[in-house]
Amino acid sequence: MSLLGKTIVITGTSSGIGAEVAKLARFQGAKVIGVDRNDPSLTLDGFVKADLSSVAAIDAAVAQLPAQVDALCNVAGVPGTADGDLVARVNYLGLRHLSEQVLPRMAHGASIVNVSSILGYEWPQRLAEHKALASAQGFEAGAQWLQEHPVAHETCYQYFKEALIVWSTTQSQKWFLEKGVRMNCVAPGPVFTPILGDFVQMLGQERVQADAKRMLRPGFADEIAPVITWLCSDAARWVSGANIPVDGGIASTYL
């Protein structure tokens, strides 16, 4: 697998999974442009500081990106302990808007990889809702739909990861057929990152202890990164519309 000569935009490069994806992609020969609200703590080929909860900030960031982008990795996200509106804007509406704005810079064979979550596994229970939200075109229309269909704060993280999986899956074939651009999701389980404690707080000790019996341990960010970079590569040229669990097998225990 090689990313030699590819230009890859990665959000959330300042820590966690995003930083590991950036390191691995550069090692594999890619030119990496990071996008984050925090300053980077690793070597990149370019960096754009941006608040991914704002349409204006996203549009300004896209204007600073190279004319051709070979892959976009949407890794940045906020935990469910944050304000619910912020979770919606960063984890879903902003991610969707960024992808739509970068798409015109992508040629045939390019790739978009969205980081979903094992916590989005219940998407079939709300499929009609998520498809309705996906059909609300544009950031503001999506925000208006959410005002009319409020999401409970205690489950907003799970809800928008579900919504992301549904949007990515339903949108992927249209872009693949029209543009030759693949879009997939990677769904990590618990991962040792700076926000792992937020997930423990969000889910509660009872849920955390129950899940702990289902797995060997939480994952490491560098165990998630190779799957994301593989999806960016030509080796995955026939993979589109997938949501790939990278969770040490925890998803299999829910069957």
**pLDDT tier at 109, thresholds 50, 70, 90:** very high
For residue 194, what pLDDT band results from cuts at 50, 70 and 90? confident
Q: Secondary structure of 227-243 in the HEC alphabet?
A: HHHHHHCHHHCCCCCCE
Q: Compute the mean pLDDT over every residue in the chain, rounded to the nearest whole number.
A: 94
> Residue 237 half-sphere exposure, CB side, CA atoms within 13 Å?
9
Q: Are 117 and 245 contacting, i.e. CB atoms less than 8 angstroms apart?
A: no
Distance of CA 15 to the CA centre of its chain: 14
pLDDT in tens, 14-69: 999 999 999 999 999 999 999 999 999 999 999 999 999 999 999 999 999 999 99
Domain boundary assignment for the chain: 7-247
The single residue of 92, 157, 159, 254 carrying the catalytic annotation is 157
Confidence at residue 187, expressed as pLDDT on a 0 to 100 scale: 97
CB atoms within 10 A of CB 207: 12
Backbone CA torsion sign across 6, 10, 13, 15: negative
Is it the case that residue 211 has pLDDT exceeding 70? yes
Q: What's the pLDDT at 199?
A: 62
Across-strand partners of 112? 72, 183
Q: Is 254 a catalytic residue?
A: no
Q: pLDDT confidence of 141, banded at 50, 70, 90? A: very high
Separation CA 187–CA 87 (nearest Å): 17
Gap between the Cα atoms of 246 and 214, Å rounded: 14
213: confidence class by pLDDT, cuts 50, 70, 90: confident
pTM of the model: 0.94
pLDDT > 70? residue 195:
no
The CATH code belonging to domain 7-247 is 3.40.50.720
What pLDDT, in 10s, does the model give residues 147-156?
999 999 999 9
